[in-house]
Chain A
């Protein structure tokens, strides 16, 4: 219930306030969003498997975002920022696919 309300509130707030992304955050925000998406899908999967734990979710969410942003930051410092962000996106994309595949199996039993 509360998470759903959170999603709705977040979308509405994003639409209502015309916030421009701070310049120094711009390279990291997309990666952070994908990492957070991975955490959210993992959470949904955990709920459907009956093993959801809010503490685990919060920690994995924040850790995912921070690690992804840090990897990109590190890549930028090393001069391989675009390659590393691609790598992060690929890994996170694979994880999201795996999570969604599990959710799909749980929903359709197929």
Chain B
């Protein structure tokens, strides 16, 4: 704006303009001169206003720091409120779905616990049957002293069969002669005796034998000692058999189940 130059360029007349610089003094020079000029009473108003602006700006910035919502307009507040309401609805939906999930999981865990308990109970029952867990209860111990080794496997098998018929639920045979012990299960076989020891399910058991059976003691004892029964047949072989009833017995010899080679569980029926 060359037409307004003459007002403030009184000191530029002696200055030779360098290349590519306008003939008038540069803006920075003018700014510096204005700043370093002797104070002018007319500038007091300018200073006051600029100071007021700085003060207001600082106050506003500081107010914004602590009360963000206080300066908001009604429309903005309504918008913020709307946003918050939508957010809270979303969060409530989320809470509801999470609670439903939690209920499902809790009830699922409950039914799973029930199923687990039932399965464990069944495993215990089946384990007693299969000889894989110890069993305890009332029963009898039949002690067979057989110094001449004349009680053979057939007789022993008959005794076990009688015990099973009488409702024996868990049976073990202890050979006191060589401290051996066998749990009698469904696939236990009887061989011998050979060299004074009977092969019971693969274990050599030497007499005297202790046959421990858990079941109703009276029934089991009766099944052993009826006329022409097991006890009398054993005594026919010049051996001694004594039956003692107990209120509490433990069958604690365990049977190692072998994996089945051919049989595998058939799939259950769909409607089962």
Contact = CB atoms under 8 A, between A and B. Distances in A.
B55 A40 contact: no
Interface in B187-210: none
Given A6-B51, A58-B49, A33 B73 contact: no
A7 B60 contact: no
B75 interface: yes
Interface stretch (B32-40, B88-96, B163-171, B248-256): B32-40
Give the bracket for the number of chain A residues in contact with chain B.
35 or more
A3 B54 CA distance: 11
Contacts of B73: 27, 76, 81-82, 85
19 contacts: A1-B38, A3-B43, A6-B46, A6-B48, A6-B49, A10-B55, A21-B60, A29-B60, A36-B56, A47-B30, A47-B31, A49-B30, A50-B4, A50-B8, A50-B9, A51-B1, A57-B49, A61-B53, A82-B75
Interface of A: 1-11, 13-15, 18-21, 26-27, 29-30, 32-33, 36-37, 39-40, 43-44, 47-52, 54-55, 57-58, 61-62, 76, 81-82, 85, 103, 106-107, 109
Interface of B: 1, 4-5, 7-9, 20-22, 24-28, 30-31, 34-40, 42-60, 62-63, 70-71, 73, 75-76
